[in-house]
Homo-oligomer: A and B are copies of this chain.
Amino acid sequence: MNFDYSEKVKAYQQKLYDFMEEYIYPNEIVYEEQLNAQESRWAGVPPIMEELKTKAKEEGLWNLFLPDDTYGAGLTNSEYAPLCEIMGRSLLAPEVFNCNAPDTGNMEVLTRYGTDEQKDRWLQPLLKGEIRSCFSMTEPDVASSDATNVEARIERDGDEYVINGRKWWSSGAGDPRCEIAIFMGKTDPEAARHEQQSMILVPLDTAGVSIKRMLPVFGYDHAPHGHGEIDFENVRVPASNILLGEGKGFAIAQGRLGPGRIHHCMRLIGAAERALEELCKRVQSRVAFHKPLAEQGVVREWIADSRIELEQARLLTLKAAYMMDTVGNKAAKSEIAMIKVVAPSMALRVIDRAIQAHGAAGVSDDFTLAAQWANSRTLRLADGPDEVHRRQIAKLELSKYKEE
Contacts and interface: CB of A to CB of B under 8 A. Distances in A.
A217 interface: yes
A362 B168 CA distance: 13
Contacts of A277: 401
Interface in A316-365: 316, 318-319, 321-323, 334-335, 338, 341-342, 355-356, 359-365
A70 interface: no
How many residues of A sit at the interface, in one of the four size bands?
35 or more
A98 interface: no
Contacts of A294: 398
A313 interface: yes
B402 A300 contact: no
23 contacts: A1-B2, A1-B78, A1-B318, A2-B322, A3-B319, A3-B323, A142-B287, A144-B359, A145-B359, A146-B287, A215-B364, A215-B366, A217-B370, A218-B373, A280-B400, A284-B401, A294-B398, A298-B301, A301-B394, A304-B390, A308-B341, A311-B338, A359-B381
Given A146-B289, A277-B401, 14 more contacts: A1-B2, A1-B3, A1-B6, A1-B318, A168-B360, A219-B219, A219-B221, A308-B342, A308-B393, A312-B313, A356-B381, A356-B385, A360-B381, A363-B378
Interface of A: 1-6, 78, 138, 140, 142-146, 149, 168-169, 215-221, 276-277, 280-281, 283-289, 293-294, 296-301, 303-305, 307-308, 311-313, 315-316, 318-319, 321-323, 334-335, 338, 341-342, 355-356, 359-366, 370-371, 373-374, 377-378, 380-382, 385-387, 389-391, 393-395, 397-398, 400-402, 404
